[in-house]
Copies of this chain bind each other. A is one copy, B any other.
């Protein structure tokens, strides 16, 4: 089994339950990917995960052009939840928004929340497309969990109904914040908020600065693009309070 496991180079996210002997039927797209693009055949080992049951080694039992099936053999990893950290970010250009979702998944965010700020140009995001990016990133990074991607919400609305038990680390080079390394180091639920390329508005800055559960942080002396800032802030949080310790 170990040899078989080591040869499972393909990881696939599925939405069905996984367990001993469980058969997983593939839809047309999955069958096309696995058998058409990746050229797998009956007997091939594939790692499966569904965000709930951990990772399972499975074997292809049916390989068709429009459908297929896999059978679970053994659990290779338990579900590993990321820490309770959300990433809030203002969507930017399409490619960079996709990158932020990909990076947040790799870096272990538990939830990804696109927010509309005063200086955000986007009126809407393709939530389904972003969720697909999160799934692909989880397949690629070896994670067993897929962070849900929310639909676009107004930052003001989110803050109106914010649970103050979840602290906010907001990164804005125009704000007088301490170095990010000086942020609090105790755990609990957190959210990282990355501003849009144009920064926050004065009203947003004032509101964030007045929140007792929000902490400003500067990410170094240069101005970082939003996607860079997201990875940098997630790195700092994960090494001080998260699962990189």
Contact = CB atoms under 8 A, between A and B. Distances in A.
Interface in A222-244: 222-225, 228, 231-232, 234-236, 238-239, 242-244
Contact of A140 (B225, B236, B242, B243): B225
A107 interface: yes
Given A239-B236, A243-B220, A228 B179 contact: no
Contacts of A242: 220
B219 A244 contact: yes
Most buried by B among A225, A235, A236: A235
A181 B238 CA distance: 10
A245 interface: yes
Interface of A: 80, 99, 102-103, 106-108, 140-143, 179-181, 219-225, 228, 231-232, 234-236, 238-239, 242-245
Given A108-B221, A108-B222, A221-B244, 9 more contacts: A99-B99, A102-B225, A143-B222, A179-B239, A219-B235, A220-B242, A221-B243, A231-B235, A232-B235
